[in-house]
Structure 1
Amino acid sequence: MSTRRSFLKFAGLFPVAGFSAPVPPATLKPRRLNPGDTIGLFCPAAPAYSREQVTIAVESLQALGFKTKMGPHFYDRYGYLAGRDADRAADLNAFFADPTVNGVIAMHGGWGCARLLPLLDYGLIRRNPKPLLGYSDITALLLGIHAKTGLITFHGPEGAATWNAYTVDWFRRVLMNAEAVTLQNPADKGDNLVQVQDRISTLTPGTARGRLLGGNLTVLSHLIGSPYLPDWQNSILFVEDVGEDVYRMDRMLTHLKLAGILDQLSGFVFGKCTRCDAGSGSYGSLTLEDVFADHIAPLRKPAFTGAMIGHIKDKFTVPVGIAAEMDAGRGTIRLLEGAVQ
């Protein structure tokens, strides 16, 4: 017994072959999108229920100057999924392999992207870097692909999003113009004495630098413990959500805390939590402000809420994995370099 204890104590001093922490892949930027490029549209999660919605998405991308191509299994359906896992993954792999496709956009989210992660060809994706865009459940693909390949992915509009002037402007600046933008909320007061909509709330003032990582909080928290999350050390975490009770938001942030993720961050940004109010009948409920006070304020790291990130019409395009600087007092996220080549 003493020999075994001595061996374990000695072995703990050195990394064991096959058990050392994986080295994160080098950051890889995709090529910028240009008018005339072809966008691959695919359904990685929920089915495409509305053909009119698909037509609007196609016409919106054409109005931006793009051509579109749909995956062979685009209209498949398997219960609440857009076809079998292997077929949905095959569509995404094929788009990265196809030299005529310049970027890939998810039609919409739902549930199902995490089921594809073991089926993707990460070597193929790294050899053929292209912009991948979406939000909500697409968070699983954005984080998983970045973790496995180093490819910068993009939390932004899906095909079914509202392609309005605000959303299109950030899409163009980030993905087409390769600008090192400063993401900042609109400051329109309307006919009010002060700004009411899209306000920023500073939790902890200050500035911080790090890689931008994040997405939908529910999806992200369900990937903890898998090999499809990136290294969080000195990163800026941005999260958003929709339709979650406050206690669930509390539970998920507690999960991030217990997993050691919150302690590794250099900064924290919360976007929008759409339809996440305590609601009627929630006697004794905490508010989101209470939850942030419990979990984020004690970190004593720059943090703010209210960024234009989430299930909203007017949204940023946020690169996942790019170096950035946040200013919690001003409520800004400044990219330190362009996210595409």
Structure 2
Amino acid sequence: MIRYPSFKYGATIGVTAPSSGVPEMLHSLIDAAKLRLEQQGFFVEIGDTTWTQEKVRSASAQKRAKEFNQMMQDDSIQLIFPPWGGELLIEMLEYIEFENLQEKWVLGYSDVSLLMLAITLKTGMASAIGTNLIDIRGKTSDETTAMWKEVLFTKAGEEIVQRSSSKYQLKWQHDNPTEHVFHLTEETKWKTVSGKSEKISGRVLGGCIDVIRHLIGTPYGDVKGFCESHFSNEPIIWVLENCEMTTTDLRRSLVQMKLAGWFNHCTGLVFGRSPANTPVNGYTVEDVYQELAEELRIPVIYDIDFGHVPPQITFVNGAFAEIEVRDGNGIVVQRFL
């Protein structure tokens, strides 16, 4: 069984930086995000690692893990909300006290998705891949991103419905802020390899491929054991995104995941829009998706609202989902079973 944490208005949110912290010149972003959450009725507790950054880390692996462990064991905190991702979260995994983690949500994406997948695989506790703290600092929020609260408010036994965005952001414009942070200018269109409508169902697992692939072969990436003990080998939907890889690196990573058995019982692959996917000698990301669909004989859906090209639907590791694409539009139903 999957364990789903509880969350409600008035809860305390813990902010810690298990990967990159926020340099002093950008501390105002944390202040703004804290203010928005407090205006919505939440309390916010900010850990020391949030405010520091040296080279590519907020602090040493041991210090990051200690602060994370403390927040996860604090009865008053219901959500851990890192400021953003980074590069070297994997360093702190060996110092996390998985056996002592209380039931609470961890929300984020990018490098943080490695932590969340490890938590779900190791403990059977659901975790949420969605927006990060920095991106909810605006006076308003687009409808897609704003659903993070409704998803986390969902109780065990209930379901939550999310729909594809109407527009997405083509590129970041940090020097041109908007009231809701993002610049949503391009028409959203979810796509399928088949070119037809697709509907898939199964348990959700996923994250940023760049980092979660490094769990393979470690004690934190036992997908087979997890599926046997928590899902009874139910169908799996992998929801994935590429941050920085070329198409050949992406292909290598996906083949490695396949060879490691991660795609056993997989009923469909879903890929977010990507700022990367650079073609190599004419080898495109569409080629990668086509090959996967043929090899695994499953539907492949892509360019969805997920990952480093906002806005983002909030997906829950462990939830049972139905994902449907029709005429470029998508609907995601997640049941907390």
| Common fold by TM > 0.5 | yes
Partner of 2:113: 139
Partner of 1:28: 3
Kept in 2, the 8 Å contact 1:213–1:320? The answer is yes
RMSD between superposed Cα atoms in Å? 2.3
**Distance in structure 1 (CA, Å) of the matches to 2:331 and 2:152:** 19
How much does 1:187 deviate? 4.4
**Distance in structure 2 (CA, Å) of the matches to 1:80 and 1:177:** 35
Kept in 2, the 8 Å contact 1:217–1:240? The answer is yes
How many residues in Structure 1 have an aligned counterpart in Structure 2? 301
Partner of 1:17: none
Greater alpha carbon shift after TM alignment, 328-337 vs 232-241: 328-337
- Segments of 5+ residues of structure 1 without an aligned counterpart are 1-25, 190-194
Cα deviation digits, residues 57-90 of structure 1 (max 9, x gap)? 2122223321110123333444321111111001
Partner of 1:67: 43
Cα deviation digits, residues 262-313 of structure 1 (max 9, x gap)? 34311111111124343xxx5x221110111112333221321121111133
AA of the residue aligned to 2:199: T
**Distance in structure 2 (CA, Å) of the matches to 1:54 and 1:287:** 38
- Structure 2 CA distance for partners of 1:169 and 1:73, relative to 1, 3 Å: closer
AA of the residue aligned to 1:134: G
Cα deviation digits, residues 167-193 of structure 1 (max 9, x gap)? 44311221125462233213469xxxx
Alignment of 1:177-188 (within 5 A): 177-178=154-155, 180-187=159-166
Give SS of 1:107's match.
coil
Cα deviation digits, residues 129-179 of structure 1 (max 9, x gap)? 011101000111111111111110000111112452324431122112546
Give SS of 1:210's match.
strand
Aligned-pair identity in percent equals 25
1:203 to 171, 186, 193: 193
- Structure 2 CA distance for partners of 1:300 and 1:332, relative to 1, 3 Å: farther
Greater alpha carbon shift after TM alignment, 171-180 vs 155-164: 171-180
Greater alpha carbon shift after TM alignment, 46-55 vs 242-251: 242-251
2:322 to 314, 321, 325: 325
Partner of 2:171: none
Partner of 1:218: 210
Partner of 2:172: none
Alignment of 1:221-240 (within 5 A): 221-229=213-221, 230-231=223-224, 233=233, 234-240=235-241
AA of the residue aligned to 2:47: G
Kept in 2, the 8 Å contact 1:133–1:154? The answer is yes
- Segments of 5+ residues of structure 2 without an aligned counterpart are 169-184, 228-232
1:165 to 142, 145, 153: 142
Give SS of 1:160's match.
helix
Tell me the TM-score normalized by structure 1.
0.81
- Structure 2 CA distance for partners of 1:69 and 1:130, relative to 1, 3 Å: same
Kept in 1, the 8 Å contact 2:84–2:108? The answer is yes
Give SS of 1:102's match.
strand
Tell me the TM-score normalized by structure 2.
0.82
Kept in 2, the 8 Å contact 1:246–1:277? The answer is yes
Kept in 1, the 8 Å contact 2:11–2:77? The answer is yes
How much does 1:322 deviate? 0.9
**Distance in structure 2 (CA, Å) of the matches to 1:321 and 1:166:** 24
Kept in 2, the 8 Å contact 1:237–1:267? The answer is yes
